[in-house]
Amino acid sequence: MSNPVRNYFSEFGVLKSASRDFWLTNAIQFFDGLAYFSMVTVLSIYLTTNCGFNDVDAGAWFGIYMLFVTAFMFGVGSICDVIGIKKSYFIGFGLLALARLGLGVVPVFLHGEALQWVVKGLLLIMSLGTAFIAPVTMTSLRRYTTKSVRATGFNVYYLLMNIGAIIANALIVDGFAKIWGDVDGKLAILDFGFLMSLCAVGCTALLREDNYAEDSERATGENDTKRPLHILLEVWKERAFQKLLLFLVLTIGVRLVFTNQMLVMPKYYTRVLYTDFELGLASSINPFIIVLGLIAIIPIINRFATVRLIIIGMAISAFSLVFLALPLEWVLRLPGIHNITQAYLFVIVSQIVVFAFGELIFMPRFTEYIASVSPPDKVSSYMALAALPMFIAKPINGFVSGILISKFCYDGIRPKIDTGNIAFRDSPEFMWVIYLILAALSPLAVIALRKFLTQQGPEVSATPVNEGGTP
């Protein structure tokens, strides 16, 4: 039997011909990923401990941040198609640098209501900067890879993104907390994000705007005379995009599980376990498993039908919440578990491992597929609008999470759990029952509409992924 590790990395040999612009794009994404993943891990706690927001308001403003990312991405994708890669990157990282530096500095000089209003404004600026980065990165990766190596190129992108997530969580989040403490450490993380934005700007300056790996995909110049709104309306009218969007909307339920990693888990971990719980270490387990999984099983699962993989992956990700929803007394009966802390550690690690396995099954080819089926002159528009369901899930969960946390996982709940003076319907476990029901709706909905989604057209084809990455 062939060695899957050797087979996987032998695939990367074709990237020897990749241009420097491809690697610069990955460097840009890596620097921004370090800033983004470290920031979102601590943002909800930062809003509470550094800025004085209560649980509900912290969740709401995390949600508002994501909501405005969604709103801005509607127009930003088409703007990127008009102004090009370099200008889009410069605008996006300029805004991110301003917002990240501001968030890392203003709590030192302002307090109370004045601080909260400034932070709200900076979150909106950061949302606009964030909205620029994702669609233009996908455009850049497609432009700088040939069709024959595009799937491999997106594998590299996904691999490096998760390596960045490991570093951000295991080294930056926990490392900064140990050096500067829980409060100042969060300010240092945001200041670090500012420096990463400057590194990304430096890489952007070296990109070549007119370099196309596939000459047949070279822009025709048709967009030069179009306004962004015109391009946006064209995309919305295309039936291929409409069916793709429906498919993505059906995944919102399970994508709430993804947003829980940022919105719910930090406060859940610190409140059911202990306040100095190493958030970064826990958050790094997921990308670590994905990196290992990419190496071990991607060459195998790529042989299967795309829609089947997505359904299986969503089902596994949704199932991971079963561990968190188990009544605590059931977990305490398991061999080797002798106290409540061990019980919570067991269900938390089990959920992370199972969820990561589900994620790596359906995520790596997903982004590459959307970029590949997009018209060459509308890649950013497609990517921006295709990301809509995920960014809808984040603001929805921002509002919902704040309410659920304040009711089922409030500060000071652990002593009640220790004394057994809490009913299941009032416990953190019941909160996860609610999320489990919402997550299970996604694979069930895709199964119910599978024939419609896969008939007549390549939008979400049920055929296996080929070497070029197109289902």
CATH of the domain at 290: 1.20.1250.20
- Reply yes or no on whether the pLDDT at 217 is more than 80: no
In a domain, 259, yes or no: yes
In a domain, 114, yes or no: yes
pLDDT digits (tens, 9 = 90+) for 172-184: 988 898 888 888 9
What's the chain's average pLDDT? 80
Residue-level pLDDT at 63: 80
Contact 417, 312 (CB under 8 A): no
SS3 467: coil
Residue 305 β-bridge partners? 464
Instruction: Give residue 461's pLDDT band: very low, low, confident or very high (50, 70, 90).
Output: very low
Residue-level pLDDT at 86: 92
Which domain covers residue 352, as residue numbers?
20-212+224-454
Question: What total number of domains does the chain contain?
Answer: 1
Instruction: Give residue 460's pLDDT band: very low, low, confident or very high (50, 70, 90).
Output: very low
More reliable by pLDDT, 285 or 150? 285
| 3 state SS for 156-223 | HHHHHHHHHHHHHHHHHHHHHHHHHHHHHHHHHHHHHHHHHHHHHHHHHHCCCCCCCCCHHHCCCCHH
Residue 423 burial (CB count, 10 A): 8
More reliable by pLDDT, 402 or 276? 402
In a domain, 276, yes or no: yes
Share of the chain above pLDDT 90, in %: 26
SS3 125: helix
More reliable by pLDDT, 225 or 195? 195
In a domain, 235, yes or no: yes
- Reply yes or no on whether the pLDDT at 397 is more than 90: no
In a domain, 425, yes or no: yes
Query: Could you give the count of Cα atoms lying within 13 Å of 117 in the half-sphere of its Cβ?
Result: 3
- Reply yes or no on whether the pLDDT at 103 is more than 60: yes
- Reply yes or no on whether the pLDDT at 299 is more than 90: no
In a domain, 357, yes or no: yes
In a domain, 149, yes or no: yes
H runs (alpha helix) in 302-422: 306-319, 321-325, 328-332, 340-362, 364-373, 379-386, 388-408, 413-419
Crossing angle of helices 55-83 and 112-143, in 10° steps, is: 40
Q: Considering the entire predicted model, what is its pTM?
A: 0.71
